[in-house]
Structure 1
Amino acid sequence: MPTYAVTGATGRLGRLVIEHLLDAGVPATEIAAVVRTPEKAADFAARGVEIRQANYDDPSTLPGAVAGVRRLLLISGDNPGQRVAQHTAVIDAAKLAGVERLIYTSILRADTTRNPLAPEHKATEEVIAASGLPYTILRNSWYTENYTDQLPQYLQTGVILGATGGSRVSAATRADYAAAAVAALTRQEDGNAVYELGGTAFTFDELAAAVTEVTGTTVAHRDLSATELAATLENVGLDAGTAGFVAALDHSIAIGELTTDSDDLSRLIGRPSTPLHDAVRAAHA
């Protein structure tokens, strides 16, 4: 019976967690990949990982997906507005199955931030605390890939638009957060734990400088107000709701809510977080 289970195992973070578990020497037979579409996990199945089909939106599929598992990583769902109900269904199944520890991927400062993504994470943390399950909360800041995935656009336009007011964001790569999740899954932890995770902070000016240095193409940062950024995004085709949401995320950076001085990430993974230049270089390769 598998020791570890990872939900959303064919997502971008989930895949990295499974890979990191295998690279850490965890036998494939001790890992269960919980997925909606088993065909997408065929490569893991070929390596001996147990594939368990389940759907956050179908609670009846969840008890079997976590049965016999000692440690469960609940990767937050990607459907805003539905996540509390989805996560609660997984937590209920984990409690019924007698899972020994639940690990959850939350957001930085979930209990205090005004980030528009935070309320569902905060509510999920409250459900976990009320469940009585021993837990580890991984409060992740932004992915560096939120920016490096936009590298082609930056190079085409020569501009990084933002509304961060010169504030820093403690972003880290998905691989860094995956390594932290593996550490949380495999380490012995007494009681409950909450980790505030973020990499070495950078400004958008520093992001633009890194892109320029790595690619040889001059890219500048243009800082706008949140209102101006929303209007600009609407002008290039985003609907008003999405544009306003993106601007609100940048405003969260501007007021310091996605920056942390915590060294929890580097302590968990046993090394510094991936440098910005390295992340840009990998995206440009």
Structure 2
Amino acid sequence: MTAHSPHSGHRRRQNRTPLIAAAAAGVLAITLAAQAALASGEPGTAAEPAGAHVLAVPRASGEQRLTATRRISGVVDGAWTRFTGAGALGGDGRGKGRKPLFELVDGAVLKNVILGASAGGVRCLGSCTLQNVYWEDVGENAATFLGTSADAAYTVSGGGAADAAGTVFRFDGAGTLTVRDFAVAGFGELVRSCGDCGEQFRRDVVLQDVTATAPGGELVGVNGNFGDTARLSGVTVVGDPGRDVVPCQRFEGVTSGEPAKLDAGPDGVTCLYGESDVAFR
């Protein structure tokens, strides 16, 4: 398959102070800051320590440290194991070009997994499904999608991610990426269609029932000149009264150089959603 640049046109964003307000039965709030906010009845107030973040995840059933990328084929159920990196995969999780903890072959499914703060991300080489995968502290990227077939289908169903310095989901390959029933907070971009890959494709992005908690940049960034589309429905943005989070940003993608940022908002061609599809609360 075609090699892809590790940076793939995704700009790093810094100084994020993320907060996920995603509540679900059987989940555990993992920071004392969250507990204090809930006890006071004033989550997200100035009294909350700077830099604190909350990610609601299932209680981990065990811990594993990986020193090399684990290749996944078929269906792998992590049974709520928390994975972190060690050795060559160790570090603070924020360096560019880090090797992933998991690499999924075409058609693979990874589910019920927690990726800890010192963890790399996930790489999909073709169609894949990430079901109930949680990133406690994303760092630079949570997952990268690299299939080269126009029929490739990537699905992120359930789960959540916190504290992404740059892009949560890098869409460098071809096909369709669907993100549904997902929570994210503290992000530069939730999904970015590669802006400067040496080989470009048309890419389609679908966001369904996604909750994004500010601060954040863009939910979707797509290249209109390559025929990309982004379809949004049931999206809720929390903690952003100024509406700084951009639901859909259009770019002019390139194969070298810097992609140009164009207009944002629904246009009926590239960014496909209506006013009722994105709610700011």
| Alignment TM-score > 0.5, same fold | no
More helix by share: 1
Q: What TM-score results when the alignment is normalised by the length of structure 1?
A: 0.29
Q: What TM-score results when the alignment is normalised by the length of structure 2?
A: 0.29
More strand by share: 2
